Structure 1
Amino acid sequence: MTIDEITEYVTDLGGVLVLRPTEGSEAPEIAWGDTFFYYAPDGVVPAGQPFATIVTKDYPGDETSDLNRPGRFRVNIAVSKTTFTEAAAPTDASIDDTVVAHPLYAAANWLAVVDPGKATEATVREMLREAHD
């Protein structure tokens, strides 16, 4: 899956506000180039966290996925406690195309996939739909 494929899928779920901060935007520089998905049918950023994100680089304190290599990214998805528990996700966030517990937000039931591919595409789509709903 590519970033564009994920973005198209999430947008097609309806009522989604996609934020992609760029240089010169109000967002902090660290967020430039990343993607944030909010359920916001009115087009206004709601209070609170997005339901999913795509990050393209390591953030301070979150380097375990080794995202600073060219073309690498991680999709992060807020799921229900039940889904999180059923995923029985490993905690090694450097593994490609594998559902893992988010390296920082696992306690809040976030799962993550670095460079999602054939092994995780269907699962990523299911989790994104759940997070959207």
Structure 2
Amino acid sequence: MTMDEIISFMDGLDGVLTVRPAPGDGSPEISWGDTFFSYAPDGVAPATAQPFATIVTKDYPGDTASALTRPDTFRVNIAAGTAAFLHWTGHAPREPATAEVDFTAVDTVLAHPLYGSAGWLAVVNPGPRTEAATRELLGIAHQGARLRHERRAELRS
């Protein structure tokens, strides 16, 4: 899967706001080239909700385990939730992994190297082995974000 294929898939889901920071738009330079997906049916970035999925194209300070400095390497980060996390990793988000994890592995669904304890999964360069799973997990994350948005809207009314 390419980044463009992932972005196209996400843009096909209802209420998704796709943000692609770039020079001149006021976003921090470190975010340029990355992509952030939020549930925002009104098209306005939510002030209180974080994206439910991202594509990162480089290492961030404190987040270098996936070695995204390799050429043509990116990572899809997905707020998949506890059930999906348990299914893919074999342990609950706050429990330690039972084996050493190679966060540089490509085309493999893994716990996110930093946010796994919050139920986030990650895939470096999704390919033939993980394309269907990546789409499914993005759909699960989208559904979760939509439900959270609806609960917040109910509380406000």
- TM-score, normalising length: structure 1: 0.96
| Number of aligned positions between the proteins | 133
Q: Which has the higher helix share?
A: 2
| Aligned CA-pair RMSD | 1.1
Unaligned runs of 5+ residues in structure 2 are 91-99, 144-157
Q: Unaligned stretches of 5+ in structure 1?
A: none
Q: Aligned partners of 1:81 and 1:111: how far apart in 2?
A: 10
Offset at residue 4 of structure 1 (A): 0.4
Q: How does 1:105-124 map to 2 (within 5 A)?
A: 105-124=115-134
Amino acid at match of 1:2: T
- The aligned residue for residue 19 of structure 1 is 19
CA distance in 2, matches of 1:91, 1:131: 23
Match of 2:126, SS state, is coil
Question: Residues 37-48 of structure 1: matches in 2 within 5 Å?
Answer: 37-46=37-46, 47-48=48-49
Structure 1 residue 84, shift from structure 2 partner: 0.5
Instruction: Determine whether 1:96 maps to 2:106.
Output: yes
For 2:77 and 2:34, the matched residues in 1 are separated by 11
- Larger Rg computed on CA atoms: 2
Query: What is residue 66 of structure 2 aligned with on the other side?
Result: 65
**Counterpart check, 1:56 vs 2:61:** no
Mapped to 1, the partners of 2:39 and 2:129 lie a distance apart of 27
Once residues 16 and 39 of structure 1 are traced to their aligned partners in structure 2, the CA distance between those partners, rounded to angstroms, is 5
The answer as to whether partners of 1:62 and 1:104 remain within 8 angstroms in 2 is yes
Post-superposition offset of 1:127:
0.2
Q: Which amino acid aligns with 1:45?
A: A
Rounded to whole Å, the distance in 2 between the matches of 1:83 and 1:116 is: 17
How far does residue 68 in structure 1 lie from its aligned partner after superposition? 1.2
